[in-house]
Structure 1
């Protein structure tokens, strides 16, 4: 699944009760309604979201109504685009000079507009930005080779490790002390293979760009114009995985295009470990109610990955003060907290860290996982460059598969991947 779409798809998949405007606003007092960008907040402004209708219509209308009430005379036109083809729609709007004043853009959708200088540097316009939003969320809208921050982080998610405690116990491992790094994971996988007779796997996915990043590999040049992950450190990581694959610690079909995925193997009881978002156990309770109670969570290994949606402001807006104030309002702590209570996502404001709904578990394994994910967000970062689109990641995955199968040397595969990806960047 394409990571830039992860949060949008999670939102679209969750049925929600209507909020009807209750609980909206920002109890922290940092809504930035008048302060962001300076100037008088008045007149008409447009706001475009991505696939929020009809499930979140009541919520969004409540947010907008509250903003208009706070600023008498302001009129907000809310546009919502379907999920499919959204990136193409935004590019078409930009090319035609009809980009909305405030537009919902994940970082990879924002990048081409930032390259064309079509998005406002909200950090320059809003001095409180970095003080009020989590660092990783802000950094997600900084692009190599381009000055500024090109969006307010809106809602976030990250990955958590999930373990089948029943299987770990059965095969001699302690579910209260699951593996915390790759070496421990491989050692535990070896134990599971031995004790299960090869019927169950612990490791069930091949490495990717995020694993390279967590190994300290620099994925791109400082100017964002070329990939640089063909390093000795990346080759060593592939060598480690190739040895594990040769030893039978991963499923044979993990290298194929038809591979079911580690989460599906986890759900079926064939694998004892997977990674997923902070609310995975809640959905698992519906998909596999007998497995859900047996699952325990732990923090992601290394730096937690960050998945981000945000609101950008058009540089061409004729109502800059109101556009900035609206982006601030939609993404403030109160409105984000209300949204997160309807969906499987987390807020991006620092003030949200004091919200017990996110920071305290109710004692269930699902509650524990939610807290693990939320507390991880303070240190979470986007590990994959926004330039790594689906086509580029396909090339990388193909070369990694060749390296793990032994059909190519690790450095050779990485050199090939970098060369091909860099050609694709120039096209």
Structure 2
């Protein structure tokens, strides 16, 4: 068996991976014919960089599981953050994949293609009722039948605005842009009035998806974002860049990044998770009282962590029961109470007023906005897009924005090259 390299998770996922959680009410596993199976015996649970910060939490969940199911014994393995994908690949190649493994959707895809993960629809008929749609869809892949992960914990993005920069430009941060056209119009006003920047990042595939533009064929064999609609969106960024509405180095290696520039008070807009405002204020306390938030423009991106069950587990009923227990509503809600900006994937949790309510602070408002969009948020950039494809896409989009190519030419070139890479996966 040959296992290809797992693609790197996105930046937001890398942040989420440093956190941990749990989900759904426990229950006996079922076989494909619907019969109950005994939950007993030994299983292994592997997480991603949760020690030592969440040792007490995870050990508590394991203890509760073992009490709920007498005769079970869980061995907890926690792997370092660096090189985690290589560790999982090595385990899979050696036939030593743990019974239950923490895998984000892009990591799980590679193993699902190799037939190494259990299709959870064959062991759990409550998935649709248990988890929010976007989180469950993250573990369903074009061209594959099945669902290959129990969603665990989530983050999503929203908009953040620098109110002081808005006020200086004569703009109302209480009525920020809600569309790309409005963003460009207010960026022009700000730049003309103060020389400051509202726009400070180039677009990506996620922006096409957020605008409702198809980016991957239904069977997963072709990327499709070289459409007239995508070219039109890219033209908007090209024109804004030519007009000087974005920093000159936004397309170069010297670019510090939209989030960092926002944290330094140098640009007036950034996107980030529900806890992004806290990290900004830790970096730059001078921005206290100068940040407000609003819902993401277009479809809201979702970042997901989950638990997958090995298809070669010698104790499948207990492995399934453990994954379901760790991801039950009670456990997930307890975890989100500890970690701002991380939310449960369980549908029942979306009615929890403690999670939905703001305490009236900018931080509380951001958390409430992020939480309110979980039921409709979805993974925007297909997990089939590898690091190599991302490099190609970035190069071609930069060529379009600088005017070296037309948007249509750049998108055609990006899709053609990426589809060659996709065919080799």
**TM-score scaled by structure 2?**
0.93
Given candidates 163, 169, 187, the residue that maps to 1:189 is 187
Question: What is the distance in 1 between the residues matched to 2:313 and 2:22?
Answer: 24
**Superposition deviation, residue 328 in structure 1:** 0.5
Given candidates 76, 79, 86, the residue that maps to 1:78 is 76
2:374 pairs with 1:368: no
- Show the counterpart of 1:294: 290
- Show the counterpart of 1:320: 316
2:409 pairs with 1:403: no
Which residues in structure 2 correspond to 1:15-30 (within 5 Å)? none
2:335 pairs with 1:347: no
* SS of residue paired to 1:31: coil
* Runs of 4+ more than 4 Å apart: none
Aligned residues of 2:16 and 2:155 also touching (Cα < 8 A): no
State which drifts further: 87-96 or 361-370. Answer: 87-96
Aligned residues of 1:358 and 1:371 also touching (Cα < 8 A): yes
**Superposition deviation, residue 11 in structure 1:** 5.3
Aligned residues of 1:36 and 1:328 also touching (Cα < 8 A): no
2:236 pairs with 1:230: no
Which residues in structure 2 correspond to 1:32-51 (within 5 Å)? 32-34=26-28, 38-51=36-49
- Show the counterpart of 2:374: 377
Specify every segment of 5 or more residues in structure 1 that has no aligned partner in the other structure, as ranges: 17-23
Deviations 1:185-218 (A, max 9, x none): 011101101111x2x1001101100111122221
**Superposition deviation, residue 8 in structure 1:** 4.2
* SS of residue paired to 1:224: coil
Deviations 1:291-342 (A, max 9, x none): 0321000000011000000000111111111111100010111111122223
- Show the counterpart of 2:178: 180
Specify every segment of 5 or more residues in structure 2 that has no aligned partner in the other structure, as ranges: 1-7
2:86 pairs with 1:92: no
Aligned residues of 2:29 and 2:39 also touching (Cα < 8 A): no
* SS of residue paired to 2:289: helix
State which drifts further: 86-95 or 148-157. Answer: 86-95
- Show the counterpart of 1:19: none
- Show the counterpart of 2:10: 4
**TM-score scaled by structure 1?**
0.93
2:311 pairs with 1:305: no
Question: What RMSD over aligned residues (CA atoms) do the two structures have, in Å?
Answer: 1.7
- Show the counterpart of 1:108: 106
Deviations 1:381-418 (A, max 9, x none): 00000011222111101110000000111111111111
**Superposition deviation, residue 421 in structure 1:** 1.0
Aligned residues of 1:33 and 1:326 also touching (Cα < 8 A): no
- Show the counterpart of 1:59: 57
Alpha-carbon spacing, 1:338–1:71, altered in 2? closer, same or farther (3 Å): same
- Show the counterpart of 2:5: none
Alpha-carbon spacing, 1:320–1:10, altered in 2? closer, same or farther (3 Å): closer
**Superposition deviation, residue 35 in structure 1:** 5.2
Aligned residues of 2:44 and 2:76 also touching (Cα < 8 A): yes
